[in-house]
Amino acid sequence: MKTILGIETSCDETAAGVVIDGRLVGGNVISSQVDVHALYGGVVPEVASRLHIERIVPVLELALSQAGMRWSDIDAVAVTNGPGLAGALIVGVNTAKGIAASLGKPLVGVNHLAGHIYAGWLAEGIPDPAEDPGFPLLALLVSGGHTDLALMEGHGRFRLVGRTRDDAAGEAFDKGARILGLGYPGGPAIERASAGAPHTEAMPRAWLPNTHDFSFSGVKTALLRRAQEAGIYPTPGRIRDGNPVGALARAYQDAIVEVLVKKAVAAANEYGVRGILLGGGVAANRQLREELVQASDVPVIIPPPVLCTDNGAMIAACGSYLLELGRSSGWELDIYPNLRLDYAIG
């Protein structure tokens, strides 16, 4: 039985998780900074770094006590070392080095994007190991900074087959919510606003034929124009035509979800994969979860919403598999703010 501590500080959640044997979540503590960044309409990097410094030790202690463990029960320390905000990553990586050095245990750097995908291997994603569809899998990773389709040919092996050419899906939700005056973070705000809204608006889709790439800047511009026309943007005080905010949120979410689902299913069919794995913050979206399951011919693995957004358990899960592959890191472990899913640096 191996017990791995996972540390995540790449953006605006200070998080730590304890994972046993790569599958069982012993403790998972997430201290979100979202209320602070919401005041500015988005993440302010220096504020994020300072809040990580303040919160990281209490978050770690709480994760250990949730797991009913002491520091000496930890077999290795996994930490996100990219991609993300440089100052924020440094806090997590240096904390992880301090813990690993003082315990005399291995350190493993984890690619945050791979971490999102490994949330699917936790018992909450694949409850019964016998149901693990095996490889190859297609991963649809949808987060605030990334929208990637990756062919996963084995543990820790990713081949990028599609990516966004402009905005990420989460970024599109965040920008759309800002246009509609719905606040930050945008994904949950748009999801709430569209629930029960009338189907009276339409938004365009960028299909980009003959490629598995995505583009979300066109739908964002269409939303902006329509919001200006309806008097929602830039001053929501002067709304005309009744109140189309809910209907616009619904049409916008429909457009983003339909493109993600149809393009993922097309790629899954083309590569003949045995399953689709959905991960990243946008995977918390209920409509996306339901439509992907409905449209796919192969099993779809989706972690519960709390493991889709940033957390330490997914980093610990990925770290467990990397350690098994012999991929622990040295003390010189650096941060890589622009790390891609298919770059195996750790």
Residues between 276 and 295 with contacts to ligand KG4, criterion CB under 6 A: 280-282, 284-285
Binding partner of residue 185 among Zn ion, ligand KG4, none, CB cut-off 5 to 8 Å per kind: ligand KG4
If one asks whether residue 176 binds ligand KG4 (CB under 6 A), the answer comes out as no
Which of 22, 26, 115, 145 touches ligand KG4 by CB under 6 A? 145
Count of residues of this chain found to bind ligand KG4 when the rule CB under 6 A is applied = 19
Nearer to Zn ion, 143 or 253 (CB): 143
If one asks whether residue 186 binds ligand KG4 (CB under 6 A), the answer comes out as yes
Binding partner of residue 214 among Zn ion, ligand KG4, none, CB cut-off 5 to 8 Å per kind: none
If one asks whether residue 251 binds ligand KG4 (CB under 6 A), the answer comes out as no
Nearer to Zn ion, 254 or 310 (CB): 310
Binding partner of residue 219 among Zn ion, ligand KG4, none, CB cut-off 5 to 8 Å per kind: none
Q: How far is the CB of 314 from Zn ion (least distance, A)?
A: 9
Omega within 30 of 0 (cis) for the link into 204? no
If one asks whether residue 143 binds Zn ion (CB under 5 A), the answer comes out as yes
Q: How far is the CB of 345 from ligand KG4 (least distance, A)?
A: 18
Binding partner of residue 59 among ligand KG4, Zn ion, none, CB cut-off 5 to 8 Å per kind: none
Q: How far is the CB of 32 from ligand KG4 (least distance, A)?
A: 9
- 6 DSSP β-pair partners: 17, 78
Distances (CA, A) of 297 to 195, 269, 311: 27, 8, 30
If one asks whether residue 312 binds ligand KG4 (CB under 6 A), the answer comes out as no
Q: How far is the CB of 172 from ligand KG4 (least distance, A)?
A: 8
Q: How far is the CB of 285 from ligand KG4 (least distance, A)?
A: 3
If one asks whether residue 310 binds Zn ion (CB under 5 A), the answer comes out as yes
Nearer to ligand KG4, 91 or 100 (CB): 91
**Count of alpha carbons within 13 Å of 159, Cβ hemisphere only?**
11
Which of 4, 11, 140, 260 touches ligand KG4 by CB under 6 A? 11
Which of 124, 148, 167, 174 touches ligand KG4 by CB under 6 A? 174
If one asks whether residue 81 binds Zn ion (CB under 5 A), the answer comes out as no
**Count of alpha carbons within 13 Å of 203, Cβ hemisphere only?**
29
Beta strand 275-279 with 300-301 is parallel
Among the residue ranges 37-45, 128-136, 168-176, 214-222, the one whose residues contact ligand KG4 (CB under 6 A): 168-176
From the list 280, 288, 277, the residue with the least C-alpha distance to 308 is 280
If one asks whether residue 254 binds Zn ion (CB under 5 A), the answer comes out as no
Q: How far is the CB of 7 from ligand KG4 (least distance, A)?
A: 15
Contact in structure between 302 and 260 (CB atoms under 8 Å): no
The residues binding Zn ion (CB under 5 A) are: 143, 310
The residues binding ligand KG4 (CB under 6 A) are: 11, 143-145, 170, 173-174, 185-188, 191, 280-282, 284-285, 309-310
